[in-house]
Amino acid sequence: MTPERIEGYGIRLRPCGPADVPGMVAGCADPETRRFLPLLPDPYDADSARWWITEGAPAAWAAGGSAYTIADPATDRLLGSIGLTRLSAERATYEIGYWVGPSARGRGVATAATRLLGERAFAVGAARLELLTHEANVPSQRTALACGYRREGVRRAAGAARDGVRPDLVAWVRLADDPPGPTARLLPDLPDGRLTDGVVTLRRVEPADTDALHRMHTLPEVVANRVPPVAPERATVARRCRLAASRWLAGEAADLAILDAATGALVGGCALVSDEPATGQAMLGYSLLPEARGRGLASRTVRLVAGWAFEVGVARLWAGTRPENVASQRVLERAGFRREGLLRGRLPGPDGVRVDSVVYGRLATDEH
C-alpha cells in the first residue's frame, strides 16, 4: 500500500502530520485507550506523538503495512488512528489495529475506518485480515462483527503484559472472499437491553453483579446442581461477569441477571447456552437466591427467556434437573417444557459418584 488519502463511509484516512500532535496526545493519554494498548509510551506527550509521525509511521509503511490518521472529512481534524501490520507477505496476511479518541466514540468511526481500510487492503492484494481484541473490549468486538469479521477463537496470553499479566486476545478474521455486510449473530442483543413482564426483569450480567452471584452459586443447594458440584471461587464468578458481554457477542451464552422489577434488586441468575448451534439447540439453566423463592419468579424467567430465544431463531430448548429436584421440574412444566426422559449417570456427582439427570425440552413449535 502507498500513503495516499482514502475517503468513504463519512471518514477520511490520510497520512499523519504535525497538526495531529494535540489530538494524538489527547487520544493516547486517555485511560480507555491505554487500557487496551498498554505498549503506548507512558506518559504519552507531544514528543511521543512527534516520534510516531517522524519515525513510527514511516517504519510501518516501510515494513509493508500502513499507518493512517482517521480524520473528519469536513475539518480534517484527527478522530483516531488506524493501520495494518504485515504478518506474512507470502500468505498476504495483515493485522488491523486502531484507536479512536474519546470525543469521537459512539459515532461509528471505528467501524467506518475498519471497513474502509479493509476494502482498500483487499483491493491491493491482501487475502486475510486479523483483528485482535482484548476479551473485555466489547466495543471493538462489536466493530469486528459490524465489519464482517468472524470470531476464530481465543489466543491465550497473546496480549502485551500489564501489571505482570498477559491477557488473552480474541481473534477476529475477514477473508477477501467473505460475503459483504456484517457477521450474523447467533445471540442478538435483548430488545432495549432487557426483558420484563412487569414482575421480573432480565438483563445481561455485569461486573457489579459479582458478589450477589457468588453468594448464590456457593449456596449448598445450588452447588449440588453445578457441574461439577463444587463451589466456585469469587475470582471465577468475577471473570464470568466481566466477560459476559464478550461471550454473548461470540454466541456462546446469554448470561442474565434476574431482577425484582419492583425494586431492581438482583434475585438470581439465568443462562441460555448455545450448546449445539448447528441444530438450533440451546440449554437453559437458572437459580434464585433464597429470599426470592416460592414467588413464581423462576417460571416467569424461563417463560421470558424461552420466548426471546424462539424469536431469535432457537428451535429447541432443553434443561436438566436432578431427579429429586421437584421444584425445578415444576418450574419447567409451568413454562411449557415437557419431560423427555432420564439420562442415567449423566453428571459427575460428589465423591466420584455419577448422578442421573431428568431432561425437559420445549420446541419453538410447541403450543403454550
Q: Tell me the pLDDT band of 79, cut-offs 50, 70 and 90.
A: very high
Task: Note whether residue 354 is domain-resident.
Answer: yes
202 lies in the same domain as 79: no
143 lies in the same domain as 227: no
Q: How many Cβ atoms sit within 10 Å of the Cβ of residue 364?
A: 14
Is the model's pLDDT at 1 over the cut of 80? no
52 lies in the same domain as 19: yes
Alpha-carbon distances, residue 71 vs 20, 24, 199, 224 (angstroms): 10, 12, 48, 56
205 lies in the same domain as 240: yes
- Mean pLDDT, the chain, integer: 95
238 lies in the same domain as 282: yes
Task: Note whether residue 352 is domain-resident.
Answer: yes
Task: Note whether residue 182 is domain-resident.
Answer: no
Task: Note whether residue 1 is domain-resident.
Answer: no
- Reported as a single tens digit per residue, the pLDDT across 39-50 is 999 999 999 999
Note the pLDDT of residue 368: 63
When pLDDT is averaged across residues 181-209 and rounded to a whole number, the result is 96
130 lies in the same domain as 37: yes
255 lies in the same domain as 325: yes
153 lies in the same domain as 25: yes
CA distance 28 to 267: 41
- Reported as a single tens digit per residue, the pLDDT across 325-353 is 999 999 999 999 999 999 999 988 877 88
For 225-245, the DSSP string reads: TSSSS-PPPHHHHHHHHHTHH
| Range 76-80, long-range pairs (CB < 8 A, 24+ positions) | 76/12, 76/14, 76/19, 77/23, 78/16, 78/19, 78/20, 78/23, 78/24, 78/27, 79/11, 79/23, 79/103, 79/104, 79/109, 80/27, 80/104, 80/109, 80/110, 80/113
Task: Note whether residue 368 is domain-resident.
Answer: no
Tell me whether the omega of the peptide bond preceding residue 58 falls within 30 degrees of 0, making it cis.
Answer: no
257 lies in the same domain as 320: yes
Task: Note whether residue 63 is domain-resident.
Answer: yes
From 175, 199, 226, give the residue that closes a domain: 175
When pLDDT is averaged across residues 81-90 and rounded to a whole number, the result is 96
- % of the chain residues with pLDDT over 90: 91
Q: Which three cell numbers stand for residue 79?
A: 478522530
From 175, 200, 227, give the residue that closes a domain: 175
CA distance 211 to 209: 6
Give the domain extent around 311.
191-363
- Reported as a single tens digit per residue, the pLDDT across 92-113 is 999 999 999 999 999 999 999 9
Query: Dihedral sign, CA of 258, 262, 263, 264?
Result: positive
Task: Judge contact between 70 and 82, C-beta under 8 A.
Answer: yes
214 lies in the same domain as 328: yes
When pLDDT is averaged across residues 291-312 and rounded to a whole number, the result is 96
- Reported as a single tens digit per residue, the pLDDT across 133-170 is 999 999 999 999 999 999 999 999 999 877 788 999 99
Domains: count for the chain = 2
Is the model's pLDDT at 131 over the cut of 90? yes
Nearest to 272 by CA among 247, 236, 290, 292: 247
144 lies in the same domain as 47: yes
- Reported as a single tens digit per residue, the pLDDT across 231-281 is 999 999 999 999 999 999 999 999 999 999 999 999 999 999 999 999 999
Task: Judge contact between 194 and 308, C-beta under 8 A.
Answer: no
Domain containing 227 — which CATH number? 3.40.630.30
Task: Note whether residue 329 is domain-resident.
Answer: yes
What does pTM read for this prediction?
0.90
From 175, 201, 220, give the residue that closes a domain: 175
106 lies in the same domain as 19: yes
Q: Tell me the pLDDT band of 313, cut-offs 50, 70 and 90.
A: very high
Nearest to 126 by CA among 166, 85, 98: 85
CA distance 256 to 90: 45
Tell me whether the omega of the peptide bond preceding residue 43 falls within 30 degrees of 0, making it cis.
Answer: yes
List CB contacts of 200: < 8 A, sequence separation 6 or more.
Answer: 258, 259, 260, 261, 267, 297, 300, 301, 304
Task: Note whether residue 347 is domain-resident.
Answer: yes
